Chain A
């Protein structure tokens, strides 16, 4: 799959990486369900499932290394994300938040795993889907908890605010809850993964191109590769951070919907 990029480099002159580098053709015939991101997403489901099933299967009191590793990730989502933000009702949302975190994290990290090297979340469809799920979950939770009337009223007419302020606040609050939140949630993740991948492409492909140039350019090439490697570590950080932020914001939205006054 990397050969695709290399193929493109055969021509004279450097073609900078663009959005076209994200439009990968289907692997098998012309089936749109066999593109690289689609296959990677399915792979992530298999990898995450197998890892956590293996890790949690024994549920031993004295954990093995594998169980310990799985537990640490689970505990992080359960305690630091869910419990600390949602409060006493947190356990209901742990499976969802845990899935969200592991799913996003794995697909993000695929961006720097050798041979895979493509973050599925840089295809905006996947963040959209996740944001829609989160949107549904937190509105559903809020409506279930407070009833649709009170829930909408609390959003539109924030209590404890002078009446005149509603002219400004009501449209803003409605926009926040129904448009801005899902949009920012998905676009933040998408844009980070997209930009990160593009950045890596620039340095790696650039380095590769420099290597084919005259002797002076060949000498510069290692610097481009070194930057590419350095940025790979930086990307790893961003990938983990974005998975965390997505999960954390979801937890905060749920917490807000559960609270009597947001």
Chain B
């Protein structure tokens, strides 16, 4: 290269600029600068921004979806837990209620039974009394009739009759 520059030095000085070329160079460069600054650089920048946006937007969207899913999962877990607790308490309650109901029914049944027994006892007692009374009357009448027949003597007097019968029955009871 050095050799060629030496060669060049023999002729017209190549370091002297031409006016026309200076002007053209300035104009051409300025023209290109304006075109690139106005039409090219903003478009490239726009493209880069859009690309960055698209990539970042995608990541953000994915992150958002993941967060959403996580939140839903947490919510479901919580709901499930709550439901389980609720069912637990419900079962607990049902059991205690069941026990109470059974207890109550049993009490009622016993009461009813007691009541029935009592009324049975009462009616039996009443019937017995009635039976005793009627038996006493009938037995008396029969015995008197029998005795009168046997003795041959009519004991028409009511008061006397019953006195005799009572005495007879008392004797019977005391002899027992």
Contact = CB atoms under 8 A, between A and B. Distances in A.
A61 B50 contact: yes
27 contacts: A35-B20, A37-B21, A41-B28, A45-B35, A49-B35, A49-B36, A52-B36, A56-B43, A57-B43, A59-B43, A95-B41, A98-B36, A98-B41, A99-B37, A102-B32, A103-B32, A124-B17, A125-B18, A126-B25, A129-B25, A129-B29, A130-B29, A187-B15, A194-B5, A198-B5, A198-B7, A202-B4
Contacts, number: 140
Interface string B86-99: 00000000000000
Interface in B17-61: 17-22, 24-26, 28-29, 31-33, 35-37, 39-41, 43-44, 46-47, 50-51, 54
Contacts of A41: 24-25, 28
B48 to A, nearest CB: 8
Interface of B: 1, 4-5, 7-12, 14-22, 24-26, 28-29, 31-33, 35-37, 39-41, 43-44, 46-47, 50-51, 54
Contacts of B46: 59
Contacts of B10: 18-19
Interface in A36-90: 37-38, 41-42, 44-45, 48-49, 52-53, 55-61, 63, 67, 70-71, 74, 78
B32 A128 contact: no
The number of chain A residues touching the other chain, given as a range, is 35 or more
B39 A53 contact: yes
Contacts of B51: 61
